[in-house]
Amino acid sequence: MIITRFAPSPTGFLHIGNLRTAIFNFLATRKEGGKFILRLDDTDSSRSKKEFVDQVKEDLNWLGICWDQEFSQSDHIKRYDSIRKELVEMGRVYECFETPAELDLKKKKLLSMGKPPVYDRASLLLSEKEKEKLRSEKPSYWRFKLNNEVVEWRDSILGNQSINPSSVSDPVIVKADGQYLYTLASVVDDIDYGVTDIIRGSDHVTNTAVQIQIFKALSKPVPNFGHHSLLIDLDGKALSKRDGSLNLKTLKNSGIEPMAIVSLLVSLGSAHSIELYKNFKDIFDTFDLASLSKAPAKLNISSLNALSQKAVQELSINEVEDYISSIGVPKGLSRNFWDMAKENISTKNDMEELWKICKRDVELDKADPDYEFLQKAFSLLRDLHKEPEPWKLWTEKVKKVSQRKGKDLYLPLRYALTGSTSGPDMNKLLPIMLLNNLQIIE
Ligand code: GLU
């Protein structure tokens, strides 16, 4: 059985780039009937916040992504301690003492000599006595000792991969403040939870080489890896996690439909053209991890808006009824209102403005050159409240009486009613305004 996990760090809001990872894991798992785990990578206690954990969960639920199991890495520190001890005994984890400033200096020296800035393993040469002395002076940190074996794996997206670890520094696994870093913690959890497939962004490829060595050092089976390409903007620049407009909370608040986001993210980099899916089940047939492109995927926000507009317009009355009543539309009017509104909105939020129009009264202004025309016209409206097609009947009557036609006839009426010269189909809008007790104030 396939077991996957999505492992966000709750140090900020869920970003559209990371969401793509969640979606790929979720689809790959649900397609096969496996198990999908939500892992919260919260070992950085100063930056991890409950508020972000709650928001990540809310966002995933909103998108229809559900998980079978959930845990936080901060609950597993003892387990990481014991694995670290095991690895120390094997000689694969060692204690180091350089301060960040000392490490920085070493890096700069190597770079100035044109060498790769790989950690020199100086701490590995310290005697027990020297280490004791250093321990009394400053906190230590810990590194995993890579061996020289070239790491190879068959990546389910990138194909055959081969990384020579001699160009990689021994990774820090515990920082000087005692905080476990993701590199070891992740492997321990992947082992303990039987994770079979790790799908994540291609920014993790080097981590994978390191982590494969840790799996092997612990004599555990290595999971399958798949690294998807990252999202870029239209200028080809990497999307910044700090760009708040692309986090899920903001997208949700701006009224973007969840399945528009999902549909766009699954189609980017795939062999299929962008299409709107109604739910995850509809994606199973077309989704294939192996066919994802290795090239960065361009995110076009206007495609997202277009998909979202299509998604919202295709919603049934049952799907929007709650929202419609939340903005104040009485139950009895919700069908009529939706029938009118859906043709005039890009997002659900746009319905608020439309509802305000439905509740408007008409105020006739004596200074308006059309005052007399409007006064006459609105006096003809009074008897039409119960008619099935009041706009048609009314404008026919007004036409006869005023001798106006076309724009001269329709525009002043529309403007007086809605405050705008364009907008919803008046055949649909006027009955709602009349049912809403439209008042004519002269
Ligand atoms: N917390 C890591 C991240 O968000 C998890 C990476 C992984 O999936 O292993 O990048």
Q: Give the pLDDT confidence score for residue 342 in this predicted structure.
A: 96
Q: Judge contact between 131 and 175, C-beta under 8 A.
A: no
Locate 224 and state its tokens: 């399958």
Closest-CA residue, ligand 1 atom 3, reads 8
How would you class 131 by CB atoms within 10 Å of its CB: exposed for 0-12, middle for 13-18, buried for 19 or more?
Answer: middle
Q: Which residue carries 């793509």 as its tokens?
A: 20
Contact predicate 2/32, CB 8 Å: yes
Which ligand 1 atom is at minimum distance from the Cα of 6?
A: 8
Helix (H) or strand (E) holding 310: helix 301-313
Residue among 45, 240, 227 nearest 53 (CA): 45
DSSP 15: B
**What pLDDT was estimated at residue 267?**
94
Cα 108 from Cα 306, distance rounded (Å): 49
Q: Return the DSSP state at 288.
A: -
Q: How far is CA 397 from the centre of its chain?
A: 53
Helix (H) or strand (E) holding 362: strand 362-363
Verify whether ligand 1 is closer than 6 Å to residue 8 (CB atom): yes
What is the position in ligand 1's atom list of the atom closest to the CA of 199? Answer: 8
Q: Specify the pTM.
A: 0.90
Q: How far is the CA of 8 from the centre of ligand 1 (A)?
A: 6
Please give the pLDDT value at position 77. 98
Residues 6+ apart with CB under 8 A from 317: 334, 335, 338
Distance CA 151, CA 241 (A): 30
Residue 24, ligand 1, Cβ within 6 A: no
For residue 9, the ligand 1 atom closest to its alpha carbon is: 1
Cα–Cα distance measured from residue 172 to residue 99, given in angstroms and rounded to the nearest whole number: 13
Shortest-distance Cα residue to atom 4 of ligand 1? 8
- Give the other-Cβ count within 10 Å of 229's Cβ: 19
Output the CA torsion 416→317→344→307 (10° steps). Answer: 170
Closest ligand 1 atom number to CA of residue 186 = 9
| 223 backbone dihedrals φ, ψ, rounded to 5° | -65, 170
pLDDT at 386: 84
Which parts of the chain register pLDDT below 70?
242
Q: Is 200 near ligand 1, meaning CB less than 6 Å away? A: yes
Q: HSE on the CB side for 198, CA within 13 Å?
A: 27
Q: How far is the CA of 39 from the centre of ligand 1 (A)?
A: 9
CA–CA distance, 413 with 408 (Å, rounded to integer) = 9
Confirm or reject: Cβ of 186 under 6 Å from ligand 1.
Answer: yes
Find out whether the beta carbon of 9 lies less than 6 Å from any atom of ligand 1: yes
Distance CA 372, CA 305 (A): 43
- Which of 348, 346, 320 lies closest to 335 in space, CA to CA? 320
C-beta of 197 in contact with ligand 1 (< 6 A): no
How many other CB atoms are there within 10 angstroms of residue 120's CB atom? 15
Q: How far is the CA of 16 from the centre of ligand 1 (A)?
A: 14
pLDDT of residue 238: 87
The residue whose two tokens read 């092997």 is: 216
Strand partners, 162: 152
Nearest CA to ligand 1 atom 6: 7
Query: What pLDDT was estimated at residue 385?
Result: 84
- The letter for the amino acid at 86 is E
Which residue reads 């990384």 in tokens?
163
